[in-house]
Structure 1
Amino acid sequence: MTMKMTKLFSYLLALVFVGLTTISCLDDDSNEPFYTYGFIPATAIDVNLDSIQPVSQTTNVKVTFNLAGSCQEFVEFRRILPAEVNELKVGIFGSQENNVSCTNDIRPTVKTLKFTPTTSGEQTIRVWAGKDPGGADIYISKTITIPAE
């Protein structure tokens, strides 16, 4: 009789577990907005030569890109590795809100990349600008000369 009770208890426990996990999955409201994330291609880099700071100080780099519609937003600049010595390689990381109504306008946007090099001399800033037809990454570049302290 004890073996039958143990077996019955095991079946009931498994049935309760399956029931609870199924019910929790059924409570999914697919009308809620959700976000997808990815890189947005850059269209231009601009560095005002008067704003270039010495090594270990921050130089502001203006990066231009297009946001597609009202649901796409800038999140942050993200480093892309590997990078060469004296090279900063970044991508514009953005979000896209889904399951909501959005406009289809193109919004040119300029954000400031804070660049603080650790060595003086020529520095190359490369920003991801999309992919070529073969699938290889494309970058736009700007080389600046960072003065010593």
Structure 2
Amino acid sequence: MKQFILLLVFVTIFIGCSVGEDNNPKFHLELLPIDSAVLPLEFKKDSIYELPFNYIRPSTCHIYEGFYYERNLNIRTIAIQTSVIEQDNCTTATVNPITQILQFKPTTETSYIFKLWKGKDANGVDIYEEITIPVIP
């Protein structure tokens, strides 16, 4: 009887888990440009700011994953990082623009330069909008 139950369990597992099927959706990462931002005219050192960044979601298959955020001395390069689900039933997103908040705390008394990624030009070169914000004590 035990052998019959083991055989039944094995057959059930084999039938339920077909090796040829791939139920995991395929996706790739894609950066989206910053459409606009509302940044202050100045920062106060050691204060926390909530910076709203707007972007355009191209399709319903673009899922927000967070900010692409690169630090280099006082320069901050920012874009929107998304996962794009690779499927045929993607439609144009109807709710746009979308706002995401980035928390930022200036820790030095120098100016910060925000490089907002705007996409690529016709030659594939990155385009940035640079905004300099001074820090007051």
Cα deviations across residues 49-95 of structure 1 (Å, max 9, x unaligned)?
5xx652223222211110012111211112236x3x42211221111
Find the partner of 2:122 among 107, 121, 133. 133
> Computing the radius of gyration over CA atoms, which structure comes out larger, 1 or 2?
1
Structure 1 unaligned regions, length at least 5: 1-25
Higher helix share: 1
Q: Is the 8 A contact 2:117 2:126 kept in 1?
A: yes
Give, in whole Å, the separation in 2 of the partners of 1:33 and 1:90. Answer: 28
Output the aligned Cα RMSD: 2.3
Query: 1:80/1:28 Cα in 2 relative to 1: closer, same or farther (>3 Å)?
Result: farther
Question: Does structure 1 residue 112 correspond to structure 2 residue 101?
Answer: yes
Shift of 1:120: 1.7
Deviation at 1:99, TM superposition (A): 2.2
Partner of 1:143: 132
The AA in structure 1 aligned to 2:48 is T
> Which of 27, 31, 56 is the equivalent residue of 2:19?
27
Please give the alpha-carbon distance, in whole angstroms, between the structure 1 residues aligned to 2:126 and 2:20: 37
Does structure 1 retain, via aligned residues, the 8 Å contact 2:43–2:134?
Answer: no
TM-score (norm 1): 0.67
The corresponding residue for 1:96 is 84
CA distance in structure 2 between the partners assigned to 1:105 and 1:93 by the alignment: 16
Listed as ranges, the matches of 1:52-131 within 5 Å are 53-80=43-70, 83=72, 85-99=73-87, 101-105=89-93, 107-131=96-120
Unpaired runs of 5+ in structure 2? 1-17
Query: Contact 1:45–1:142 at 8 Å: present in 2 too?
Result: no
Question: Given that residues 33 and 117 in structure 2 are in contact (C-alpha distance below 8 angstroms), is that contact kept between their aligned partners in structure 1?
Answer: yes
Provide the identity percentage. Answer: 23
Q: Quick one: structure 1 residues 100 and 29, their matched pair in 2 at CA, closer, same or farther if it must change by over 3 Å?
A: farther
Give the number of equivalent residue pairs.
119
Match of 2:122, SS? coil
